[in-house]
Amino acid sequence: MAKINPLIALPPILFAGLAGLFIFGMGREDAQQLPSSQIGRDAPSLAAVTPLGDLAPLSDEMLRTGGVKLVNYWASWCAPCRVEHPQLETLAQEGVTIYGVNYKDEAPAAQKFLAEMGNPYAAIGQDEPGRTALEWGVYGVPETYILTSDGKIAYRFAGPITVEIMEKYIKPEIAKAGE
């Protein structure tokens, strides 16, 4: 009787494993969302951010006091940041405190962006070298973090906040962070 090589079974086993991973990935609630290791941790320091012109400067203490707040990383050169900006304006008008961190941008361009689009930020800082963003785990802009009243990261959203995303994810997560 001929012996069967066990390597013959390897391709179907590998295929089944890959298919299982794809099915699992498609079944996630939001397949577009990237995981974050920062959830539940204290927000990293903003000590390295610098003021942006004469706008209200962002301080590290602001993250750790007061109610629920958003920290939004953005840049004037970022097209998706323009898409999400009206939603940030809406949230600010509804009383949500939003702090902005201008990422790898030149101050005059950032100020022109805000003059043109409006300024939803209660305070703002500039992270021109991008070092603070690395500590926060920012993949790219725009990226928004929801912080609890004591400065812990409750939720992270990578990408532009659309009206649908604001209603489906951001507002419920703000409410949950306030509990």
Dist. CA 65–CA 46, nearest whole Å: 14
CATH top-level class of 31-177:
alpha beta
Which value, in Å, is the radius of gyration of the alpha carbons in the chain? 21
List the chain domain ranges. Answer: 31-177
What is the per-residue pLDDT for 18? 64
Tokens standing for 59?
């301080």
What is the per-residue pLDDT for 17? 65
User: How many other C-beta atoms are found inside a 10 Å radius of the C-beta of residue 101?
Assistant: 26
Dist. CA 100–CA 74, nearest whole Å: 7
Q: With a threshold of 0.85, does the pTM exceed it? A: no
pLDDT tens string, the chain, 179 residues long: the values are 667 777 776 677 766 666 666 565 544 444 445 566 688 899 999 989 999 999 999 999 999 999 999 999 999 999 999 999 999 999 999 999 999 999 999 999 999 999 999 999 999 999 999 999 999 999 899 999 999 999 999 999 999 999 999 999 999 999 999 98
End-to-end CA distance of the chain: 70
- Cα 161-81-50 angle, rounded to 5 deg: 115
Does residue 50 come out as left (phi exceeding 0), alpha (psi in the -120 to 50 range) or beta?
beta
